[in-house]
Amino acid sequence: MAKITYIEHDGTEHVIEVKTGLTVMEGAVKNNVPGIDADCGGACACATCHVYVDEAWREKTGKQSAMEESMLDFAENVEANSRLSCQIKVTDALDGLVVRMPESQH
């Protein structure tokens, strides 16, 4: 399990224990965290699970795949630390991860 802090655009924090092997997106959806829509269910076919990875965690979450980079073209307000949360696998090394949600996923 990894403890992940999801921060909504308005600053509301949700600290959730997410099972290893799930994705950051699945942790949010299973725990009803608002701000991650996940319209495609985690297939990397939309950009509605867009998050900003806290700078301290960017390296540990890995690099964007070509498909993820392509899907982020559909997201609003993309930054250097933007990721699709469906593409970040939860491992014990991500215990303490902090992600922020954009104002809108659409």
What is the per-residue pLDDT for 83? Answer: 97
Tens digits of residue pLDDT in 16-47: 999 999 999 999 999 999 999 999 999 999 99
The pLDDT assigned to 52 comes to 98
**pLDDT tens readout for residues 43-64:** 999 999 999 999 999 999 999 9
Q: What is the dihedral of CA 69, 2, 58, 65, to 10 degrees?
A: -20
CA 1/CA 6 separation, integer angstroms:
15
Which residues make beta-bridge pairs with 98? 5
pTM: 0.94
Q: Is residue 42 within 8 Å of residue 55, measured between CB atoms? A: no
pLDDT bucket at 105, cuts 50 / 70 / 90: confident
88-103: pLDDT as tens digits:
999 999 999 999 999 9
